[in-house]
Structure 1
Amino acid sequence: MGNSVGLKDRLKERLGGSKTRGVALAVLITVVVLLPLVTNNYVEEVVTNTFFYIILALGLNIVIGYAGLVDLGYAAFFAVGAYTTGILMNLGLNFWLTIPIAVFFCIIAGIIIGGPTLRLRSDYLAIVTLGFGEITRIVARNLKITGGASGLVGIQRPSIFGHKLYQITDFYYTFFVLVVLAIIIALRLHNSRLGRAWQYIREDEDAAEAMGIDPVKTKLYAYMIGAAFGGVAGAFFAVKMTAISPETFAFTQSAMILLAVILGGMGKIPGAILGAVFLVFFPEIFRSIGQMRMLFFGILLVIIMVFRPQGLWPERKS
């Protein structure tokens, strides 16, 4: 009898928590949808930039948070997607047709970097991914087709249903839709058989292999899917900015995306989102104090890592 009552209480608590989260999520979505109606272009630009980093953080979270791998060159996938779309659009191809091609090349890049190196672990894998990111940037800076050091300019804005995406509000809602799709995909992956295999490998690769999981193939899937997220983000980034250059994809870009995942909490979708929001909003809020804002930003990061070493939204251990 006592166990039955306890089970009912826990069930009611979970249902109540689910309802509360549902209401909070509905309110948040409503605020995000209506925000452009009550704010200026500057706020829209900041939030759109936040959406962009959320997509990248969710992609890297698959690699680092789900599979427990190290990637210090994630901006390389973002660069491949952006340059693929920019080059193809300058050749006259429709933007929407460039997206699957950009994703394809990013997946190929993920296979190239992951296939020969995923037998490595820890520091060795980190060095390889760092080198891959720098190689991609240097190659982009020296090829004529990528525009060399000057990059690509004059990338046309796309149209959807006859409406040209030109105003910042257009990209605000476009990136918001991309964020929603990225969250849905990340959530489905987390709850899938592949997602559970990633978690087993992350916790104990040897035990996962003993259970019949192919660690190299499974980790390669993480790199491929994470690369696809970066490719899509890069494609939309290229048409939003209408110009891209190699310096946009420097190591600092990879470090910022990595920081968003670690700061928010590796392995958790809300953590990646929260980390990206913090990463973009904090420097903007304190922009009025100039370069000093980065000093306060660094101090705050140290404080968070001391008191919340698992991130702002850590993964709950069952």
Structure 2
Amino acid sequence: MTIRESKRLWMACGVGLLWFLLLLWPMLGIKPDGLEFATTFKVFGYVAVAAVFIMFFYQVKEAGYLDSVGKPVKGAAGALAAAYEKAPTWLLLGIVMAGAIVYPLVTERYAHDVAISVLIYVCLGLGLNVVVGLAGLLDLGYIAFYGVGAYTYAILSINYGLSFWLCLPIAAFIAAIAGCIIGYPTLRMRGDYLAIVTLGFGEIVRLVLNNWMSLTNGPNGILSIPRPELFGYEFRSLSSMYYVILGLAVVTILAVYRLNYSRVGRAWEAIREDETAAELMGVNTFLLKLLAYAMGATFAGFAGAFFAARMKFVGPESFTFLESAMVLAMVILGGMGSIPGVILGVLALVALPEVFREFELYRMLVFGGAMTLMMLIRPAGIWPAKRVGRRSEEAE
């Protein structure tokens, strides 16, 4: 690395730290009783020291001084990757599944609550992954289907006394119908226009839930929703509810996997890469895009029904645009079209903030910075999807 490049990097680091200070001081320094500087400079000092250390480490690495250490580490990482590739898939999945089953037995109530939230978002993320990751359709109103599933179970269980297990497929079916109704007039659009229209339809669904007093009880929501029962056993505890959502998550993962490697999944990928070329090759793009919306909405309906049973209450404030944005961020961060990537994206955005709950004031700041850094370093996501085949320009 030349001296000019080194100066440019240090200048960029200094400008970035200055901007960080300008953003941080209004958050921490403006108090009701006046202005304060001590807390701001304390936090800024920690961040500045960390940034300088990272920059110094990066320049030492680029200069080649760490090659003696880096080569053994790369060799060990390569050996681990080779062992992972050789290990049977059933063995890896068995270890993960065994850990998931044992998890509630070795953890406490708080950990159960976090794990349930993670699994709910796994179902949502994989459902949106069908729409965004496989079919390439930017949907900003996806959380509406989540709300439809939740309200379907709430209404059927309260008004008609139907069980959770009977309402579960009904909620998924109603959500799929809602996906078709919303998708039919919108899927002739592309790109930004499609995103804006789906955002509008998502808000329409939320406003309907908020104002249809006779059906949804409006902003008051629906209370006393029953928990699932099976052969007389009621799933009251969080640990028992964990196993219900774990089963739903496993079904969702298997279904999305099968869809991904089916002829329909290949057609979705063709539409995502080039819709015009796919249509010229005989793919019914409109029908398949509608099917993508319906399938994504189905998994959201499953998650919504469980959410209503877990919380024993549903209200329209649980299904806002922010939730759609969070699920979309999980899919993009993890890797669009990748099932392991989506799961890692959910863990990054749901579980990690709980680990750093003591830094609650700075969580969103760190979250925004981490998302920006991630998109710069790995724009394809944490675990990108493997492309089937290879393009000619990639070979070149």
Shorter chain as denominator, the TM-score bin is over 0.9
Whole-angstrom distance in 1 between the partners of 2:264 and 2:203 = 30
Give the partner amino acid of 2:104: P
Counterpart position of 1:133: 202
Equivalent position to 2:183, from 83, 97, 114: 114
Work out whether residues 282 and 297 of structure 1, in 8 Å CA contact, stay in contact via their aligned partners in 2: no
Equivalent position to 1:90, from 121, 146, 158: 158
Whole-angstrom distance in 1 between the partners of 2:357 and 2:199 = 30
1:1-318 equivalences under 5 Å are 17-19=85-87, 21-91=89-159, 92-144=161-213, 145-317=215-387, 318=389
Whole-angstrom distance in 1 between the partners of 2:368 and 2:120 = 22
Secondary structure of 1:290's match?
helix
Counterpart position of 2:13: none
Deviations 1:172-213 (A, max 9, x none): 111111111111100100111100000111111111111110
Secondary structure of 1:310's match?
coil
Decide whether aligned partners of structure 1 residues 300 and 16 sit closer, same or farther in structure 2, where only a CA change above 3 A counts: closer
* Aligned residues: CA RMSD: 1.5
Identify the structure with bigger relative contact order (alpha carbons < 8 Å, sequence gap 6+).
1
Work out whether residues 163 and 229 of structure 2, in 8 Å CA contact, stay in contact via their aligned partners in 1: no
Deviates more, 1:16-25 or 1:180-189: 16-25
Whole-angstrom distance in 1 between the partners of 2:95 and 2:264 = 32
Give the partner amino acid of 1:141: N
Give the partner amino acid of 1:80: V
Whole-angstrom distance in 1 between the partners of 2:166 and 2:272 = 36
Deviations 1:155-187 (A, max 9, x none): 111201221011000111111111111111001
Structure number with larger C-alpha Rg: 2
Matched pairs, number:
306
Q: What runs of 5+ residues in structure 1 fail to find an aligned partner?
A: 1-12
How much identity, in percent, do the aligned residues show? 49
Counterpart position of 1:5: none
Whole-angstrom distance in 2 between the partners of 1:220 and 1:112 = 9
Deviations 1:110-138 (A, max 9, x none): 11111111110000100111011111111
Decide whether aligned partners of structure 1 residues 24 and 97 sit closer, same or farther in structure 2, where only a CA change above 3 A counts: closer
User: In the TM superposition, what is the alpha-carbon distance from 1:148 to its structure 2 partner?
Assistant: 0.7
Work out whether residues 153 and 164 of structure 2, in 8 Å CA contact, stay in contact via their aligned partners in 1: yes
Whole-angstrom distance in 1 between the partners of 2:333 and 2:286 = 27
Decide whether aligned partners of structure 1 residues 285 and 230 sit closer, same or farther in structure 2, where only a CA change above 3 A counts: same
TM-score normalised by structure 2 residue count: 0.75
Q: What runs of 5+ residues in structure 2 fail to find an aligned partner?
A: 1-80, 390-396
TM-score normalised by structure 1 residue count: 0.93
Deviates more, 1:123-132 or 1:282-291: 282-291
